Amino acid sequence: MTPPIGYISTRSRAAPRGFREIVLEGLAPDGGLYLPEALPPCPAPPADPFPPAYADLALEVLRPFCDVAEPRLREWIAAAYSTFRDSRVAPVVRRGDVWILELFHGPTLAFKDIALQFLGRLFDALLAEKGETLNIVAATSGDTGSAAIHGVRGCRNIRIFVLHPRGRVSPLQERQMTSVLDPNVFNLAVDGTFDDCQRIIKTLFRDVAFKRERRLGAVNSVNWARVLAQMVYYFSAGWTVLRETGAERVRFAVPTGNFGDIFAGYLAARMGLPVERLILATNENDILARFFATGEYRAAEVVPTLSPSMDIQVASNFERYLYYRLGGDPDRVRDAMETFDREGRFFAPDAARDPLMAAGRADSEQTLATIRTFWERHGYVLDPHTAVGVAVGRRPGMGEAPLICLATAHPAKFPDAVRRATGRDLAHHEILDALWNLPTRVERMPADVARIRDYIAAHTA
Catalytically active residues, by annotation = 112
Amino acid making up residue 145: G
Q: Which of 165, 388, 208, 356 is nearest to 286 (CA)?
A: 388
Which residues contact residue 266 at a Cβ distance below 8 angstroms, ignoring those fewer than 6 apart?
Answer: 278, 321, 324, 356, 357
Number of CB atoms found within 10 A of residue 372's CB:
18
Q: Give, in order, the Cα–Cα distances in Å from 194 to each of 32, 59, 191, 458.
A: 20, 33, 10, 24
Taking a C-beta distance cutoff of 8 angstroms, is the pair 65, 36 a contact?
yes
Q: Burial, 273: exposed, middle or buried (Cβ in 10 Å; 0-12, 13-18, 19+)? A: buried
Amino acid making up residue 349: P
What is the C-alpha separation between 303 and 416, in angstroms, rounded?
Answer: 18
Which residues contact residue 381 at a Cβ distance below 8 angstroms, ignoring those fewer than 6 apart?
Answer: 371, 374, 375, 411, 418, 422, 426, 427
